[in-house]
Amino acid sequence: MAIRSLLPAAVLSLAGSLAPAWAGVTVVVYVYNFEFSINPPGQPVHDAVIRQGDTVEWQWVHPFHNVVASSGQAEFFQSPINNAGATFTHTFTNVGTYGYYCSVHGFDDGAGGFFGMGGYVTVLCLADFNGDTTVNTLDFLAFLNAFTSDDPRADFNGDTVINTLDVLAFLNAFTTPCP
Ligand SMILES: [Ca+2]
Ligand SMILES: [Ca+2]
Ligand SMILES: [Cu+2]
C-alpha cells in the first residue's frame, strides 16, 4: 500500500526531471547592406521571431555595422562596429518586441524603435505555440495538431525526437505563467 501511495509522486517527479525546460535555439540574423534579416542577401527581409530563452546570433555579411538595442526596453545589448565574418549574440529572456539599430546608419527613436537601419526581435512566450502573443487553448490544440502530424515544431524540448517528453514539456510551459 505504501508503494502505491508513493507511486504518483514518484512518477510526477520522474516526469519533471525528464521534461527539462526549453533549452533554447539560436536564430541567425544576417547583417548586410542596410538590413537586418533572418534571410541572407537576395531573399526577403524578415525580422526574427523567437521564443523565451532563444538566442539571436547576428552574422556580419558586410562590414561597418553594429547592433544597439533601442533605449528603455527590458533587454539591452550592444555590439562593436564589426567586420564581415563577425558574430554577436544575445539571449532573450523577456517576452516582448525589441527594437535595435545600427548606430552608423540609424538611430534610436527613444521609444523602443529606431530610424534608418534597424530591426526588431519579437520574443514569444514559450507556450505561445501559434505565435499570436496570447497563451490559450488554441496553443494547446495547435501543439497537439503538430504532435499528431509529426510537425518538427512539436519537438518542444529540442532534443530532435518527438515523443511524450515533448507533451510534458509543452504542458510545463503551458501551466507556467508567462512573464
Ligand atoms: Ca497563442
Ligand atoms: Ca523532443
Ligand atoms: Cu550600419
Ligand 3 centroid, distance to 33 Cα (angstroms)? 8
- In 45-154 the beta strands, taken as DSSP E runs, fall at 48-51, 55-60, 68-69, 87-91, 96-108, 114-124
Q: Are residues 33 and 114 in the same domain?
A: yes
- Is there a domain that residue 21 lies in? no
Question: According to the model, what pLDDT value does residue 25 have?
Answer: 87
Ligand 1 centroid, distance to 126 Cα (angstroms)? 10
Question: According to the model, what pLDDT value does residue 24 have?
Answer: 81
Note the pLDDT tens digit of each residue in 60-102. Answer: 999 999 999 999 999 999 999 999 999 999 999 999 999 999 9
Ligand 2 centroid, distance to 156 Cα (angstroms)? 5
Residues 57, 87 contacting (CB under 8 angstroms): yes
Ligand 1 centroid, distance to 137 Cα (angstroms)? 8
- Is there a domain that residue 18 lies in? no
Q: Find the domain containing 173 and state its range.
A: 129-179
Q: Where does residue 57 rank: exposed (0-12), middle (13-18), buried (19+ CB within 10 A)?
A: middle
- Which ligand has its closest atom nearest to the C-alpha of 106? 3
CATH of the domain at 74: 2.60.40.420
Q: Are residues 96 and 138 in the same domain?
A: no
Question: According to the model, what pLDDT value does residue 19 have?
Answer: 53
- Is there a domain that residue 106 lies in? yes
**In angstroms, rounded to a whole number, what is the distance separating the alpha carbons of residues 162 and 158?**
9
Ligand 1 centroid, distance to 179 Cα (angstroms)? 14
- Which ligand has its closest atom nearest to the C-alpha of 147? 2
Ligand 1 centroid, distance to 91 Cα (angstroms)? 22
Ligand 2 centroid, distance to 162 Cα (angstroms)? 4
- Is there a domain that residue 5 lies in? no
* pLDDT cut 70: percent of the chain above it: 87
